[in-house]
Amino acid sequence: MKKKSFFEHIATAPYVFWASIFIVGPLLVVLYFAFTDQEGKFTFENILSLSSYSHTFIMSLGFALIATVICLLIGYPLAYCMSRMSERTRNVLTVLLMLPMWISLLIRTYSLMALLDNGGLVSGLLTRLGFEKLTFIGTEGAVILGMIYDFLPYMVLPIFTSMNKLDVRYLEAAADLGCNNRKTLWRVILPLTMPGVISGITMVFVPSISTFYISQKLGGGVFDLLGDTIERQFQNAVTYHTGAAISLVMMILILISLAIMNKFSDSGEDIIV
C-alpha cells in the first residue's frame, strides 16, 4: 500500500482534528459518565438501572420501525415515478420534495400541530361538515405521522438517485429475456437500487429512534421516547450518568442496525434474471 505523502497528511489534518474534537471527544465523555457515579468511581449501576426503561426502548424501536417501513412503502414508488418522468417535471418534484427540508423541524412540527390539533384547521373543517371532532394529537398515530412527514424526503432522495443512475440497458435485457414489469421490478430494479434503499432506511431510522421534539409536541407528552428520556436526564446534573448510559445503549443499537443494513446492502447487489 502506497504511503501518504507529507502534503496528504497536512491536507487530512483538519478533518482528523475536527473528528477528534467534535465526534470522538463527545463519545468518550458519554462513555465516561455511563460507567461512573457522581463521585467519579467506576460502576455498572447506570447500565443495570436501564432495565426500568425497557418499555421506552421497545416503544422507540417500534415507532422508528413503523415510520421507516411506511416511508419506504411511500418513498420507493414515488422515487420510481419521479425517475420515469421528464427532466423538467422531475426537477420540479425534486424541489418540492426538498422544500420542507429548508424549513426548521421546529416550524414544520408546529405547522403539523396547527393542522391536526384537536381545535385545528382539519378538526374545524370536519366539524363544519358534520363529522365528529378530530382527536389526533396525543396518539401514537400523530407521533408516527410526524416522523413520516419530517423524514420522508430522506428516504425518497437516495432511492431516486439510485434509480436515476440506473442503466436502461438492464431493463431492455430483462424484457428480451421474457421478464414482465413485475419481474423486472423485483429481479432487476430492486437489486440495483438496493444501495439507495439502504441509505434511505438508515437516514430515516436513525433520526426516528432518537427524536424527541416530535414526540413531545405531537404526542402531547403522553409518550416517553428515548430522546425525551435522555433530554430529561441531562437537565438534572444528578441524573447525567443515567442519561449517558441510555445514550450509550442507543448508540450501540444504531451501530448494530447500521452494520446489519450494510450487510444486506453488500449481499443485495446481484441481479437475478
pLDDT score for 121? 76
Q: What is the pLDDT of residues 222-249, one digit of tens each?
A: 878 888 888 888 877 668 899 899 999 8
- In terms of Cα–Cα distance, which of 186, 170, 153, 160 is closest to 89? 160
Tell me the backbone φ, ψ of residue 42, rounded to 5 degrees. Answer: -65, 135
Confidence label for 195 from pLDDT (cuts 50, 70 and 90): confident
Which tens digits make up the pLDDT trace of 69-123? 999 999 999 998 998 888 899 899 989 988 888 888 888 888 888 888 777 777 7
Q: Are 196 and 124 in contact (CB under 8 A)?
A: no
What confidence category does residue 270 fall into, taking pLDDT thresholds of 50, 70 and 90?
very low
Query: Contact at 8 Å (CB) between 205 and 65?
Result: yes
Residue 129 has pLDDT above 70, yes or no: yes
Residue 272 has what pLDDT? 37
Q: How far is CA 213 from the centre of its chain?
A: 14
Tell me which DSSP letter residue 41 carries: -
Interatomic CA distance for residues 155 and 198, integer angstroms: 9
| 3-54: pLDDT as tens digits | 666 677 787 888 888 888 888 888 899 999 999 988 889 999 999 988 889 8
One-letter identity of residue 66: I
φ and ψ at 139, to 5 degrees?
-115, 165
User: pTM here?
Assistant: 0.83
Quick: pLDDT tens for 19-29.
888 888 888 99
Ramachandran angles phi, psi of 236, nearest 5°:
-125, 125
* Cα 97 to Cα 82: distance, rounded to the nearest angstrom: 11
Does residue 148 register a pLDDT over 70?
yes
